[in-house]
Amino acid sequence: MAHGSFPDDLVRLQADWYRTYTALAVSRPASGAELRRRLQTLSVRLLWHPYWSGPGRMPAARAELRRQVRAMERQLC
């Protein structure tokens, strides 16, 4: 499903969420609590981003954001 471009701050939030999630998956237990708190904060910010109350109301828009950010992250690595 094609969507217009996502706001830059929303794309950055999603990319930060993926990086934090990955860091949590490979972290030592001592740093896990801090990463979990960061992941929760990012999750809330993603959930309540103003974009979702406008053009991004459809669940497919959230899936498309995740797909685009994953593709972007793969290109950067």
Asked if residue 2 is part of any domain, the answer here is no
pLDDT of 2 > 50? The answer is no
Q: Tokens for 75?
A: 């290109």
Asked if residue 59 is part of any domain, the answer here is yes
Asked if residue 31 is part of any domain, the answer here is yes
Asked if residue 1 is part of any domain, the answer here is no
* CA distances to 10, 38, 67 from 71, in Å: 15, 23, 6
For tokens 């490979």, the residue is 26
The boundaries of the domain holding residue 61 are 8-76
Asked if residue 47 is part of any domain, the answer here is yes
Mean pLDDT value across the chain: 89
Q: How confident is the model at residue 4 (pLDDT cuts 50, 70, 90)?
A: low
Domain count, the chain: 1
Following DSSP, what letter does each residue of 6-23 receive, concatenated? PPHHHHHHHHHHHHHHHH
